[in-house]
Structure 1
Amino acid sequence: MSYQIITDATADMDWSLWDVCVIPMEVRLNNLTYVYGPNGTIGIPDFYKAQQAGAETGTSQISPYEFNRVFEKYLSQGMDILYLGFSSGMSGTFQNSCLTVDELMKQYPERRIICVDTLAASVMEGYLVYEAARKKAEGIALEDLADWVKALRKQAYCRFVVDDLNTLKRGGRISSANAFVGTTLQIKPILKINEKGCLQMIDKKRGRKKSINDLLNYYHTNSMKSIGGVVVIGHGNCLEDAETLRDAIQEQYPNTKVIVTHVGPVIGAHTGAGMLSIAFC
């Protein structure tokens, strides 16, 4: 029986690389609501331009109603569903998907809907969905793929640097005093997504160059260097820095496939322009 992989717009990646349904998400700029995702109403350049001009930004989780609408589209076609969702440690979106499943299974008892919490966001989530789509193309069954993703998420590495401390301040993640001092001293927080799917600050670097080198060293330390593989680099409107990191990885590890992608507005609303991230297994 055929099945459809579904994810949400927090999974930052070039969506044309996937045979995956991406559910758009709402983004707010100065209390005006836009939709980011396929056929959305705001693009990445316009979002960061407004944010850097001082616009207040925010996001909304996907509602049970929207999950119901998207899931039923495929169920009514006789397809099963594998939903790979935004970390429950950062949003109530995944919980809403589970609530939807309970209702839909009453209407479609013959169908299968499996929701997997990726415990990830942005390029880490995108990496997991990318690999899942590749595995599906090889012919893996629905249940086996769900188990495979759950195993892969334990092996996935993700680290990122935040450049705009004022965005963290507006989101209540650091104090105004810390934002002022950090900006003055060019302090760049280094964060990761921990095993519970939550953001965790793990280090600080002084200066942009040192923070980029930290990401390169992180890959060097944790990757299976002799085998190669796929690395995803995400950037919040800082393509030049992303390309610098890509070139450094490919120079040392020419067998590695490096995908450079944008960090979209849903994540960028909380991390700001200049965010640079890396995800791999």
Structure 2
Amino acid sequence: MDIDMSYKIVVDSCCELPENLRQDRRFERVPLGLEVGEYCRMDDETFNQAEFLRKVAEYPKCPKSSCPSPERFMESYDDSAEHIYAVTLSSHLSGSYNSAELGKKLYHEKHGEKQIHVIDSESASGGETQIALKLMELEEAGFSFEKIVEKIEAFRDSIQTYFVLDNLETLRKNGRLSGVKALVASTLNIKPVMGADKGEIIQRSQTIGIKKALGKLAELAAAEVKNPGERRLIITHCNALARAQQVKEQILAKAGFKECIIMDTRGISSMYANDGGVIVTT
């Protein structure tokens, strides 16, 4: 980071960054680990989605992830920037938030005081992106650190997350569906439309077939967003661009957003979304 940079935004690797920001020095992406049997990779710039999805399809058991260490987060905070923000995936889904908080304590013990704020996104993927981009906007607008902390927490609470997956098994087997009371058998081709409540996964609706499920997702997203003209529509997908485009068109036909961003998922989001998954945040 250049010496005159006044802030830095640290994100864990479940956050998808738009291509124009991936090399931006105001951002640092801290990778989680990916394990598919003997195949172990860091979710960093070397991640190969096609290879990863092939390994997952071939592996009879469930892929797993490991969160960054507190020391790794501490390293990311050791920077000339005056204000540091860390954005993590939901603490109900990963230990990343706790690691980021512990890394903050370790930094203060070793280096002394610094303005560091860790944000539990209570979401994942594009939900983290929403927060990271909002932080950048608030900093560029010149707000104080204290005001930004206040505003970003309120913004986080306003984010809505929706997703439709072809396969929920990774979430189920890794114990991430504890907030869902019951899910019908996928053999019936019934597709649940999922959402989030304070970071816990919930079921919002269900339909027969993926096309109707994506339509229901779009309907919910358009109906529930407040002041869409002031917000971003972020759609992330796992190897499913056509589905993402379809959802975008359906949502924008009913609600006008200031910006729409579509991104393919990287490692952690690909692991949980599985091939074909679509995630929407507003």
Percent of pairs with identical residues: 21
Change (3 A) 1:173 1:205: farther
8 Å contact 2:119–2:153 — kept in the other structure?
A: yes
8 Å contact 1:48–1:237 — kept in the other structure?
A: no
* 1:151 CA drift (Å): 0.3
Q: Which runs of 5+ in 1 are unaligned?
A: none
Aligned: 1:49 with 2:54 = yes
Secondary structure class of the residue paired with 2:117:
strand
* 1:111 CA drift (Å): 2.1
Which residue of structure 1 lines up, in the alignment, with residue 213 of structure 2? 211
Aligned: 1:35 with 2:42 = yes
With structure 1 as the length reference, what TM-score do the two structures score? 0.85
Change (3 A) 1:43 1:130: farther
Change (3 A) 1:227 1:71: closer
Deviations along 1:34-57, whole A, 9 cap, x unmatched?
Answer: 0113xx332223222332344642
- 1:222-261 alignment, distance < 5 Å: 222-224=224-226, 227=229, 229-253=231-255, 256-261=258-263
Which residue of structure 1 lines up, in the alignment, with residue 14 of structure 2? 10
* 1:214 CA drift (Å): 0.8
8 Å contact 1:116–1:150 — kept in the other structure?
A: yes
Aligned: 1:154 with 2:161 = no
Aligned: 1:115 with 2:122 = no
The answer to which of 228-237 and 252-261 deviates more is: 252-261
Residue from 101, 106, 122 that aligns with 1:103: 106
Q: Distance in 1 between matches of 2:131 and 2:227?
A: 19
Change (3 A) 1:138 1:160: same
* 1:226 CA drift (Å): 6.8
Q: Which runs of 5+ in 2 are unaligned?
A: none
Change (3 A) 1:270 1:142: same
Residue from 122, 131, 136 that aligns with 2:134: 131
Q: Aligned pairs, how many?
A: 270
Letter in 2 for 1:6: V
Secondary structure class of the residue paired with 1:154:
helix
8 Å contact 1:165–1:182 — kept in the other structure?
A: no
* 1:169 CA drift (Å): 5.2
